[in-house]
Amino acid sequence: MNFGLIKCWGPVMALSLGLSGSLLGQVEFVDDERPGDAQSTFEDTIGRYFESIDRVRPKTRYEKMHGSTLREFAPLVDRSRQSTVKIYKGDEVRVLGTVVAQEGLIITKASEIRNNQDLAVQLPNKEIVPAELIEVNEENDLALLWVHQFDLTPITWAPGSDLLIGSLLASSGTVSLPLTIGTVSLGLRNLLESKKGFLGISMEAAKDGSGLFVVDVLDGTGAEDAGLRRGDLIQAIDGAAMVTTHALSNTVSESEPGDVVVLQVVREEETMMVEVTLGDKDSGMGFQMPMHEQLDQTARMGGRVSRRRSGYPAAIQHDMLLKPNQCGGPLVNIDGNAVGVNIARASRVKSYAIPSEVIQEWLGDPKELAVTVLETRVKNAESARLVAEEALEEAKAVELDVRGALVDLEAQRAASELRLESATELPNGSEEGSATEGESSPR
């Protein structure tokens, strides 16, 4: 984040957040700068601003992030921190990683390390080694890395999956205190973005509770195609009576685009059934709820969020105060066993983790995986050796060849020197000329 950008966002922030201009001058955005990262968004800027506030304010006793509280939870991360690594891009910690096999296998959040050719991993012993990207699991946003190490400590996964809401959790970093602590907010959630159906009307509840009046029909939507008009009274969808606007929008958005619904409509005191093919909410008009946008704004208060934070088929929702670059590390329960890997900071109130079962299912047996990975490495090394051996042979041949040529040249030079000597022994008359010849001969 360069300073010019802050200045240019300044007025916008002052407007949207009610800040004074003099305050902005004192805010510094110094941590983890991302040079060459063109994707720094306005959202990021706001997040950094909020983080800067929390940095200036001293943490008071009893706060979850205060050392005294974290110390109480320190036993939870005793083992898992030996399996937590930092993943660097340049000088910056991009994200954390979790060791899954002793033979150098590490998993992390894929979208944070994408397009990075030169990845480096800082091991628990502080040594920094280069890492190789082996595989990416797009759906769960996980990446498998390999480092040339054979004595890493793999994470212990929690047996079973009965993670109750209210279970205590800690996120382990590389130090003895946990990064942050919290609890399970909700059980496993499916966060796949299913497409929501879209009817294409705005409506108002009838005062007598008899249904919903159509206030407006949007162009190019299923409602228009079906011939709905302003003033129609919708009484039911697929036989279910509709009294409130919430009920109707819930029913519609639970359906999928392309579904056909049957509306019971009263028009000019005549009841009719109208078939409507639902459209796609995203491709439909900007049917926006300003209030939800407003709610979103408060969800951003408190810091940056991960760029990818949705679309996971199964995720644990918890309330730990993570930063985007603290994802990828293990999430441990009260026994110190990992129940998952942190995958995203999603808002002020929630973070997501991929549960251990999903990870274990993807990776399979760690030993077998290590065998597969190492076999590939061996094959690669073998072919590299073959290439090198070929090159060596070639080099040897070239060397022999060149050596022979060199010997020939030496012999020729020796012969010409001999000739020169015999020429100087010629009679006196030609002395001047021979001197000229001798000077020019090295050219």
Contacting residues toward another protein, per CB under 8 A: 18-20, 22-23, 26, 50, 53-54, 56-65, 68-69, 72-73, 75-76, 164-168, 182-186, 189, 203-205, 244-247, 250, 254, 289-292, 294-299, 301-303, 317, 319, 321, 334, 347-350
Query: Please, which residue, 149 or 337, has the CB nearer to another protein?
Result: 337
CB of 296 to another protein, least distance (A): 7
CB of 348 to another protein, least distance (A): 5
Compute CA distances 280 → 19, 164, 212, 258, whole Å.
Answer: 39, 36, 22, 8
Residue 1 tokens read as 């984040």
CB of 241 to another protein, least distance (A): 12
Query: Please, which residue, 62 or 117, has the CB nearer to another protein?
Result: 62
In this structure, the number of other CB atoms found within 10 A of the CB of residue 300 comes to: 15
d(CA 340, CA 34): 28
d(CA 309, CA 344): 5
Compute CA distances 76 → 165, 219, 239, 335, 345, whole Å.
Answer: 18, 58, 54, 6, 21
Compute CA distances 91 → 29, 88, 121, 194, 390, whole Å.
Answer: 17, 6, 11, 39, 38
d(CA 122, CA 174): 10
Tell how far CA 325 is from the center of its chain.
9
d(CA 45, CA 300): 11
In this structure, the number of other CB atoms found within 10 A of the CB of residue 331 comes to: 30
Query: Please, which residue, 141 or 319, has the CB nearer to another protein?
Result: 319
CB of 365 to another protein, least distance (A): 30
d(CA 381, CA 387): 10
Query: Please, which residue, 14 or 136, has the CB nearer to another protein?
Result: 14
Burial class (CB in 10 A: 0-12, 13-18, 19+), 408: exposed
Query: Please, which residue, 38 or 291, has the CB nearer to another protein?
Result: 291
> DSSP code of 366?
H
Q: Which amino acid is at 385?
A: R
CB of 302 to another protein, least distance (A): 4
Compute CA distances 329 → 98, 316, 347, whole Å.
Answer: 5, 14, 18
Query: Please, which residue, 73 or 146, has the CB nearer to another protein?
Result: 73
Do residues 316 and 190 make contact, with C-beta atoms less than 8 angstroms apart?
no
Q: Residue 53 — φ and ψ, nearest 5°? A: -65, -45
Query: Please, which residue, 249 or 434, has the CB nearer to another protein?
Result: 249
CB of 105 to another protein, least distance (A): 30
CB of 323 to another protein, least distance (A): 11
CB of 321 to another protein, least distance (A): 5
CB of 110 to another protein, least distance (A): 26
CB of 341 to another protein, least distance (A): 20
Query: Please, which residue, 89 or 350, has the CB nearer to another protein?
Result: 350
Do residues 345 and 332 make contact, with C-beta atoms less than 8 angstroms apart?
no
